[in-house]
A and B are shown apart, each in its own frame.
Chain A
């Protein structure tokens, strides 16, 4: 594992030590941390992975909704995204892979639509991408996914990114007024629209419950990142996330809600 700096960014100074072990086969990271909002230096990591003769896999599920993702510019070998994080339906996503790697790979599922010819002696697989799309596809979801991407593209990813940065900076400023708050992750200019925090003496589930009762929905828990929670020395964190539909007044509501948390637990 690549360790983290105190600000929750990948510590690239550890790469030389990892390379020296000589057994790096696959390097995988998310482009944006789902927990801290940190934007990871994916291009650098992809180049480093290739120097080691390794494959680079990028989880862009948390970045694709928020920033323009150019798979060629990233230099990744595989990039995964998920529709439900970008205004689309659940249960569908996309995996992009370099064709030479996909051609060299065997299917991991068999079923309808993925063969070229089947003989008792020999079976050949279908062309890309059908080779990897066995069975009946979730058609409605795929069409909905396309519509969601068209919608986001019409709004403009640059505009979405700028809007979220503005909100993140505003939120970090307003939240720092809340007594007993600890904010995690890098400064606004190096993060996506996510703010993780804790309130001294109040468990995140209680924070989330009291906010929920005031009409503010946040996520509380370990965010599927138990090792990160361990590193931060906490059981769980609160996470507020913003998207193109979030407005400043909602951040004010969040801050007001946190003052109520204080009152309840004072």
Chain B
């Protein structure tokens, strides 16, 4: 398998070309925008909670970016369904990285984590759940 086939695995390209949960959600219970100015990736995340107001019923995302950021965010929308806001706030980034399962340079790591970090910001704004270290006080995410 060539080097780029390893990086652009079929599952990554599938999520990139057919992203799950792609679109804008009107009247979302939680939302936030994130961008990675270095590469121009932008993502907006929307969350709808179930009747208990705590369990995630649906996550949608819109935006544009590289295959890694878009595929990772698409995978994330599937991973967090049925979890509570507190679960997601505690979700270790390694869990998402294991799902993506490709070797990422520090620059591409930011692409891969843009969706997860933006989701945590959205939940923080709506539910007051803790943010990852170093992001205290962020209402909109701008990674640099």
Contact = CB atoms under 8 A, between A and B. Distances in A.
A265 B41 contact: no
A241 interface: no
Interface in A203-218: 203-206, 209-210, 213
B130 interface: no
Interface residues of A, number: 19
B80 to A, nearest CB: 24
B13 interface: yes
Contact of B65 (A203, A260, A265): A203
- Looking at B41, B66, B108, B111, the one whose CB has the most chain A CB atoms below 10 A away is B66
Contacts, number: 54
A206 B67 CA distance: 7
A221 interface: yes
Interface string B1-45: 011110110000100000000000000000000000111111000
B3 to A, nearest CB: 5
Given A209-B7, A264-B8, A236 B39 contact: yes
B34 to A, nearest CB: 13
Contacts of A205: 39, 41, 66, 68, 108, 111
Contacts of A221: 38-40
B37 A235 contact: no
A203 B67 contact: yes
B7 A229 contact: no
A264 B4 contact: yes
A222 interface: yes
B40 A229 contact: yes
B64 interface: yes
A235 B41 contact: yes
Contacts of B8: 206, 210, 264-265
B39 A260 contact: no
A220 interface: yes
Interface string A183-211: 00000000000000000001111100110
B18 to A, nearest CB: 13
Nearest to B8: A264
A105 to B, nearest CB: 33
Nearest to A237: B40
Contacts of B40: 204, 221-222, 229, 234-236
Nearest to A207: B66
Contacts of A235: 39-42, 64-65
B66 A206 contact: yes
Interface string B100-117: 000000001001000000
A114 B68 CA distance: 52
A213 B13 CA distance: 17
Given A213-B3, A229-B40, A265-B67, 4 more contacts: A204-B66, A205-B111, A206-B68, A222-B40
15 contacts: A202-B67, A203-B39, A204-B39, A205-B41, A205-B108, A209-B4, A209-B7, A213-B7, A221-B38, A222-B37, A235-B39, A236-B39, A264-B5, A264-B8, A265-B13
Interface of A: 202-206, 209-210, 213, 220-222, 226, 229, 234-236, 260, 264-265
Q: Which 10 A-B pairs have the closest CB atoms?
A: A235-B40, A203-B66, A236-B40, A205-B66, A213-B3, A205-B39, A206-B67, A206-B66, A210-B4, A213-B4
